[in-house]
Amino acid sequence: MTTTREPAGTAVSGAAPKAGLSGSLGVGSIVFMVVAAAAPLTVIGGSAPLGFLLGNGVGFPALFVVCAVILLLFAVGLVAMTRKIPKPGGFFTYIGHGLGKPAGLSAAYLALLTYTTIQIAVHGYVGYLISVSITSLGGPDIAWWVYSLAIVLIVGVLGYRHIDLSSKVLGVLLVCEVGIVLALVAAVVVTGGAEGLSAEPFMPTQIFSGSPGVGLMFAFAAFIGFESTAIFRDEAKTPDRTIPRATYIAVIGIGAFYTLASWALVMAWGPSNVVAQAAIDPGTMVIQTTLNYLGPVGELIINILLITSMFACVLSFHNVITRYQHSMSNAGLLPGKVGSVHHKHLSPHVSSIIQTATAFVLIVLFAVLQLDPVLNVFTWFSGVATLAIALLMALTSVAVVVYFRRTKSDARLWNTLIAPVLGFIGLIGAAVIIGVNFPFLVGDVDAAGVPVFGAVSAVLLGLIVVFPVAGIIQAAIIKRRNREAYEAITETIAS
């Protein structure tokens, strides 16, 4: 039976006890939630075709391997921190302990931006997909944003309730979507694909063709969510074992699955034709592929599962964001009411309502602005999230090194120095590449196709600057007004 518990951290003098979350999630449940956030079928059906089309074409599958290696190195340091700092705040907590409270607060706000933008991006895509699917079946032609708003409300209801309900829903949906993709991979392998099976996607000439920077952006975005295992610490069973295991299983499993599935997609159409097929309609490429290899029944199943995959993705990110806001509230960074825990569902219900309202308002805004749900909403905001998460992970890697060099609490060089440094090099390199190529993603190019940082790029990249600055300013204000509260910021998170 699950019960609420009070935080073990040091409370600010005179402050009311902070409401803590609790639960008994095992490794499997947490892996299901974070892998659902990574949305395997959504990546294969949405990001992969765009990676072929806008990125490095046939060589796109190899970029999943590159990202997996970088993130596995990052995970080594992350896991070391989870064992020494048993708190659920994720980036905010680890960066705060390693690099100081101002850096921690800037990370907290950048994390909120990351998970909000990726959730909004998928809300746009799922609305479009539902609209297209219903229309193709002879149903009414209803605008994408109507369906997006409906999904926002359904996710809000599930997010309001106990986390166990979300984990069960996500588990079922994840097993189904992975199953259909593996069936498609098997069909491609058995038939030999369109031009025979080959390792062409992993050849250097293909990897560095086209715009590998843009391709890296889509590949990196596919992993967003795996690092959120630590956020569920308070709701995990034996978290000292559960969180590390879930983290490693998630990043390795995600990397292997994406590499295999995207390779099969290339083989299904053939290296000479896959980019041209993606150009016809990237949003329905995987559906057409399934029709070719698994027939009408397979097409119907994957169409449904593609929608449920995106639903699972936004539900998982909704749970992540609400817990970030809950932790920030317990640390005194957001109003105390945001950290409330429902007496029956034991969920951060107020935080869930706030996030639901945020998503609802943003979808309405994009509808008024008449943004395209795939080329604008999905592409633009997944780009913002990808660059932001790369910077957050790079900063976390630095925090790991600084923390363990200062505290001497873990003498393992690989875990606390070598792997985090290698991870930082890979992450900061990825961030630079993504940043330089960002104008390509949003269409800010001149007549010759050269990227230029125009108005759209400036606004979107500006968000990545404004949110961390807001955190730094808040840290300065709290420090000036209440030094005791400032000192307790990273200690008042429930643990």
Picking from 268, 259, 313, the residue whose alpha carbon sits closest to that of residue 289 is 268
How far apart (Å, rounded) are the C-alpha atoms in residues 33 and 355? Answer: 18
Instruction: Return the structure tokens found at 348.
Output: 């951060």
At residue 397, does pLDDT exceed 80? yes
How far apart (Å, rounded) are the C-alpha atoms in residues 301 and 262? Answer: 19
Confidence of residue 328 (pLDDT cuts 50, 70, 90): confident
Mean pLDDT of the chain: 83
CB contact at 8 A, 423 and 393: yes
Taking only the tens place, the pLDDT of each residue in 438-461 is: 887 777 777 666 667 788 888 999
Confidence of residue 150 (pLDDT cuts 50, 70, 90): very high
CB contact at 8 A, 494 and 327: yes
Taking only the tens place, the pLDDT of each residue in 158-181 is: 877 765 555 677 677 778 888 999
Give the C-alpha distances (Å, rounded to integers) separating 155 from 173, 382, 414, 493.
Answer: 14, 19, 40, 26
pLDDT of residue 164: 58
Give the C-alpha distances (Å, rounded to integers) separating 340 from 162, 234, 336, 407.
Answer: 13, 15, 7, 33
Domains of the chain from N-terminus onward: 27-436+463-487 (1.20.1740.10)
Phi/psi at 331 (5° precision)? -90, 0
Torsion-angle region of 461 (φ positive above 0: left; ψ -120 to 50: alpha; else: beta):
alpha
Mean pLDDT value of segment 75-99:
82
Lowest mean pLDDT: which of 200-204, 229-233, 270-274? 229-233
Whole-model pTM: value is 0.81
Taking only the tens place, the pLDDT of each residue in 210-243 is: 888 889 888 988 887 776 666 666 666 676 677 7
More confident position, 369 or 324: 369
Confidence of residue 6 (pLDDT cuts 50, 70, 90): very low
pLDDT of residue 1: 34
Q: Is the dihedral of CA 382, 388, 390, 393 positive or negative?
A: negative
How far apart (Å, rounded) are the C-alpha atoms in residues 237 and 395? Answer: 28
Confidence of residue 23 (pLDDT cuts 50, 70, 90): low
Taking only the tens place, the pLDDT of each residue in 408-423 is: 998 899 999 999 999 9
At residue 327, does pLDDT exceed 80? no
List the beta bridge partners of residue 451. 445
Residues listed for the chain: 495
Picking from 110, 117, 112, 90, the residue whose alpha carbon sits closest to that of residue 468 is 110
List the beta bridge partners of residue 366. none
Give the C-alpha distances (Å, rounded to integers) separating 91 from 88, 103, 375.
Answer: 9, 10, 30
Taking only the tens place, the pLDDT of each residue in 26-70 is: 666 677 666 766 678 888 887 899 899 988 999 999 999 999 999
How far apart (Å, rounded) are the C-alpha atoms in residues 56 and 266? Answer: 12
pLDDT of residue 9: 36
Q: Is the dihedral of CA 219, 41, 175, 202 positive or negative?
A: negative
CB contact at 8 A, 193 and 267: yes
pLDDT of residue 366: 94
* Angle, helices 144-160/163-191, rounded to nearest 10 degrees: 130
Which stretch, 208-222, 246-260, 358-372, has highest mean pLDDT? 358-372
CB contact at 8 A, 131 and 144: yes
Confidence of residue 491 (pLDDT cuts 50, 70, 90): low
CB contact at 8 A, 159 and 319: yes
Torsion-angle region of 295 (φ positive above 0: left; ψ -120 to 50: alpha; else: beta):
left
How far apart (Å, rounded) are the C-alpha atoms in residues 267 and 256? Answer: 17
What is the separation, in whole angstroms, between the first and last Cα of the chain?
Answer: 19
At residue 406, does pLDDT exceed 60? yes
How far apart (Å, rounded) are the C-alpha atoms in residues 263 and 390? Answer: 24
pLDDT of residue 255: 92
More confident position, 47 or 127: 127
Residue with the two structure tokens 């599962």: 305
Using DSSP's 3-state secondary structure scheme, residue 237 falls into coil
